[in-house]
Amino acid sequence: MIKVMVVDDHELVRTGITRILNDAPGIRVVGEAASGEEALEVVRQKAPDVLLMDVSMPGIGGLEATRKLVLSDPSLKVIVVSVHADEPYPSRMLQAGATGYLTKGCAVDEIVAAIKAVSTGERYIGADIAQKLALKMTPGGEVSPFDALSPREMQVMLMLTQGQRLQVISDKLCLSPKTVSTYRHRLYEKLSVDSDVELARLAMNYGIIESSMEHAKP
């Protein structure tokens, strides 16, 4: 029996995926979480084999949660299930330790197939994601300014675009406020922006965050 955990900030999504998977032979959902922080706690309690991880969530989000979870337990398999199909999300999540990546538009059978594949040590990338990753590697592939960011810069950038204050980011990432401020300054330089509002707008233009998301506070 493969023990699965579902992490998504939308209860309806968690409930739907849980019901579907509990009807699949050989799979049992043992826990749910609504944030990256909660996932860190529940994983310790439930010890799942496979974790389905959303990317865009309040707090540390799926990227940092995946990095921390895989670092603490390399045997844990993380499959990203996200609305984000474009770069740099797939590459960043795979670099953080995810072994699978699917979009939320995928078929139920594909989620089940992905869970079974990663549980045996394989990597599972949805066909649409695999195509985008392949195109990125070809000459002339579109280059995003966000590709130049380090994993930590990417994490800080995502939290800034959510409007989170420096002290909050400092506490959640276990960094000093001065260090977070330094990361913010580097982001401004690398992306040629002068404020968190400009940063959020640029992230929207490249599909990093949803256009409906509220602008970050200046």
Question: What are the pLDDT digits (tens) for 48-70?
Answer: 999 999 998 888 899 999 999 99
**Each residue of 129-159: pLDDT tens digit?**
876 666 555 455 556 788 788 878 888 988 8
**Each residue of 159-182: pLDDT tens digit?**
898 888 899 899 888 889 999 999
Q: Would you say 88 and 208 are in contact if contact means Cβ atoms under 8 Å apart?
A: yes
What length does the chain have?
Answer: 218
- Residue 151's pLDDT is 77
Phi and psi torsions of 107, nearest 5°: -75, 155
Percent of the chain with pLDDT over 70: 89
| Pairs from 100-106 (Cβ < 8 Å, separation ≥ 24) | 100/124, 100/125, 101/125, 101/126, 101/129, 102/126, 102/129, 103/128, 103/129, 104/13, 106/81
H/E stretch holding 82 reads strand 77-82
Beta-carbon contacts of 179 under 8 Å, excluding residues fewer than 6 positions away, are: 170
Query: What would the two tokens of residue 159 be?
Result: 């939290």
Among the listed residues 88, 193, 183, the one whose alpha carbon sits nearest the alpha carbon of residue 133: 88
CA–CA distance, 80 with 104 (Å, rounded to integer):
9
Query: What would the two tokens of residue 147 be?
Result: 């590709």
CA–CA distance, 117 with 111 (Å, rounded to integer):
10
CA–CA distance, 114 with 101 (Å, rounded to integer):
9
Left, alpha or beta for 189 (phi > 0: left; psi -120 to 50: alpha)? alpha
Q: Would you say 111 and 20 are in contact if contact means Cβ atoms under 8 Å apart?
A: yes
Taking residues 29-54, what's their average pLDDT?
Answer: 96
Q: Which domains does the chain have, with CATH numbers?
A: 2-137 (3.40.50.2300), 145-205 (1.10.10.10)
Q: CA geometry: angle at 45 spanning 42 and 50, to 5°?
A: 65
